[in-house]
Amino acid sequence: MNIEVTKPAIQWFKDEFDLNKEHPYIRIFARYGGCGSLQSGFSLGISAERPNKIGAKTEVDGIIFYIEEQDLWYFDNHHLKVKYSRKHQEIEFVYEQSN
């Protein structure tokens, strides 16, 4: 599973979260409820917290974006692209089928 984060999304995370060299982590996790399009009844959440058991990660501009092993089921063989929507002024998640 791959995680891609666009440059506008990276800037949004820098503006919205207190990230520094000691705490450069953004967790992406499955949560019950919300308006997710991949798994019925679930959606993705984000938080700034240290990892426990990383299942997938990427590092961009000194920020480590990761998904815990326990949340990989949500992605069902899809890659994740994290984008920033200028229109809605919020983060968007795009799923791409993996081979």
Contact 84, 92 (CB under 8 A): yes
Q: How many CB atoms sit inside 10 A of residue 63's CB?
A: 17
Residues in the chain: 99
Per-residue model confidence as pLDDT tens digits over 8-51: 999 999 999 988 878 899 999 998 876 667 777 788 999 999 99
Supply the pTM of this predicted model: 0.90
Q: Which domains does the chain have, with CATH numbers?
A: 3-79 (2.60.300.12)
Integer angstrom CA distances of residue 5 from 40, 62, 98 = 24, 12, 17
Residues in Cβ contact with 64 at an 8 Å cutoff, skipping those fewer than 6 apart = 24, 25, 26, 51, 57, 58
